[in-house]
Amino acid sequence: MTQGQTLKTKLVSMLCMVYRQEDCTVLADRLLLAMGLAGDQAPVPAHQNHWDEADVWLITYADTLQRPGEKPLVTLHDVLKHWLSDAISGVHILPFFPYSSDDGFSVMDYLAVNESHGSWQDIERIAGDFKLMADLVINHMSARSRWFENFRKRLDPGKDYFFEASPRDDLSAVVRPRTSPLLTAVQTEDGERYVWCTFSEDQVDLNFANPRVLEEFVAIIRKYLEHGISIFRLDAVAFLWKEIGTPCIHLQQTHELIKILRLLIEHHTPTAIVITETNVPNRENLTYFGNANEAHLIYNFSLPPLLINTLVTGNCRHLKTWLMSMPPAQMGTTYLNFIASHDGIGMRPTDGLLDEDEKQRLINTMESFGGRVSYRRTADGRDQPYEINIALYDALKGTAEGGVDHWQQARFVCAHTIMLALEGVPAFYIHSLLATGNDYERVEHTGRLRSINRAQCEADRLDELLAQPDNHHAQVFRELKRLIGIRRRQPAFHPNATQFTLHLGLQVFGFWRQSARRDQSIFCIHNISPETQEIALADINLIGTDRWVDLISGMVIEDLSGSVTLKPYQGVWLSNRE
């Protein structure tokens, strides 16, 4: 925002880029009223980092952890405080609203907490102890929602809230993430209408060409902020704006709407954060930073498939090439690093990074470890792999060539050692912290492949497991917590600290981080193979006047002319500051 420009004048100019036929001054007044903002408000300072090296986030469903006679949100809060208060700074609770399908992503009421999960008071208690991320399921809404029932009845609010098209329209260019039909026939008081369903017939796309829909969501955002939510995950936002005859993904209006939402959010709560969820090829994903005026964070969607591919092939060439191509995030923006989530391992983010044979080899390996594959339909009618559905612990149970081996736990920890050290904010899916395997019973029960990595756990049984010394769940949990604790004390692991890729061969993946004050350097070096590797310290260029120690093992480097021996899947963080 330029000097002397008010919030309202900035907002009007942005709205005019989207709603050319509207009186944008009036629309701006309505949005400011919905958000509770004054139009003459001063600009929010740009390029502010609302995170540091201590930020580590957890991803979980509201009802992943359960205890008899207790609401799951109460149970979740209790487990977070007991087991993770010293490890995480924030928690992403996946959609906790009333829903009709897709484990919460088919929202029926944006302003209510699912009664089976708990209440807004439970949400506020969690937000009082942790930074809270919530989903703004902004692209679509449940076909069983009140808005959609009003659409059928031709009543407000809802009559013009959903995107319609005709089977006669040329939709051949539309990019699809699913194989289901794009249009669904619906009987209304005005006869048959065809609504646009990017994901399923129960998830009907909203029509943001109607500014009333934007106004509704601004009011929803304000309510979330008032309940303590400070991080907004814009779900499936790439598909937000539709124009017949275009791919209907990444349209400029979508980018402008994200800028508008960010502008309003940060003027209401200057420390709030916007994250875009765009499971697309890497170059497309990067566009959601804008000019540091769209998303504060973007999901690093290429990291999970590339890192898993690296560890099962024992070759880091593609991971290293990708890391060298990633631009440093501007101040006020950064990456959200994750390896696993409630969804599968996306294959679209490997476009341009892995060739077709390499993709198929990865798919074959994951299937041999018990994984499944979900597909999307291309413009020419072909079904292409969209994501691999598998629990991360089982995804790393062996190698592409050798199959299942005894290095599963070491390989799994190595993956997270790498993630924790990379530029950006690390996020752990709860089932990764717990080293949960494939849940075939849940897949059978729900009929959905993604359920393989969405197990529900008895909290009391979890307490028992984590208190024991000899099961892999407890061993992994303790080691990951230990690594998290180390990471959170290092200025060189600030999400925006300098990062350079090292060249140490194909079996060793390394990079260098340096703190903003240049008072700490960390060389992060990882053996991504099942064979022992010897690394000459001269190849790393450690400064001879500094004292170097491996933060992970405590090993002190006594002879800089010597070497470091890395066992299979061992990582070291060589730092000149303890």
Band of pLDDT at residue 44, cut at 50, 70 and 90 = confident
What dotted CATH number matches 140-205?
Answer: 3.90.400.10
> Would you say residue 169 has pLDDT above 50?
yes
Task: Report whether pLDDT(369) > 90.
Answer: yes
At residue 478, does pLDDT exceed 80?
yes
Average pLDDT over every residue of 463-476: 94
156 flagged as catalytic: no
pLDDT of residue 1: 46
pLDDT of residue 381: 83
- Backbone region of residue 133 per phi and psi (left: phi > 0; alpha: psi in -120 to 50; beta: other values): beta
Mean pLDDT value across residues 69-74: 98
Q: In the chain, pLDDT over 70 holds for what percent of residues?
A: 99
DSSP 102: G
Report the run of H or E that residue 310 belongs to, with start and end.
helix 303-313
Residue 458, classed as helix, strand or coil, is strand
pLDDT digits (tens, 9 = 90+) for 120-152: 999 999 999 999 999 999 999 999 999 999 999
Structure confidence at residue 2 as a pLDDT band (50, 70, 90): low
| pLDDT (tens digit per residue) in 344-364 | 999 999 999 999 999 999 999
pLDDT band at residue 516 under the 50/70/90 scheme: very high
For residue 13, what are the contacts with CB-CB under 8 A and spacing of at least 6?
none
Query: How would you classify the pairing of strands 403-404 and 398-399?
Result: antiparallel
Mean pLDDT of 550-566: 95
- What would the mean pLDDT of 104-119 be, rounded to a whole number? 98
C-alpha to C-alpha distance for 481 and 565, rounded to whole angstroms:
24
| 563: three-class secondary structure by DSSP | strand
Element (H, E) at 573: strand 571-575
Span 179-209, pLDDT tens digits: 999 999 999 999 999 999 999 999 999 999 9
State residue 545's pLDDT score: 87
Mean of the per-residue pLDDT values for the chain?
96
Residue 449 has pLDDT above 70, yes or no: yes
- Three-state SS for 142? strand
pLDDT at 65 over 60: yes
Q: Is the pTM of this model over 0.85?
A: yes
pLDDT digits (tens, 9 = 90+) for 398-423: 999 999 999 999 999 999 999 999 99
pLDDT score of 45 more than 90: no
Report how far residue 131's alpha carbon sits from residue 228's, in angstroms, rounded to the nearest whole number. 8
249-267 confidence digits (pLDDT tens): 999 999 999 999 999 999 9
- List, in order, residues 6 or more apart from 511 with CB less than 8 Å away: 323, 421, 422, 499, 500, 501, 502, 524
Distance CA 569, CA 159 (A): 57
pLDDT band at 544 (very low <50, low <70, confident <90, very high): confident
- Residue 438 pLDDT more than 70? yes
pLDDT given for residue 182 in this prediction: 97
Q: Which CATH superfamily is domain 498-575 in?
A: Golgi alpha-mannosidase II (2.60.40.1180)
Same fold: 140-205 with 498-575: no
Residue 289 has pLDDT above 90, yes or no: yes
3-state secondary structure of 315: coil
User: Three-state SS for 93?
Assistant: strand
pLDDT for the residue 3: 53
Q: Which of 572, 574, 573, 567 is nearest to 410 (CA)?
A: 567
Note the pLDDT of residue 42: 84
> 235, 343, 394, 439: which is the annotated catalytic residue?
235
Domain residue spans in the chain? 140-205, 498-575
Q: Is the pLDDT of residue 475 over 70?
A: yes
Question: Taking 90 as the threshold, does the pLDDT of residue 380 lie above it?
Answer: no
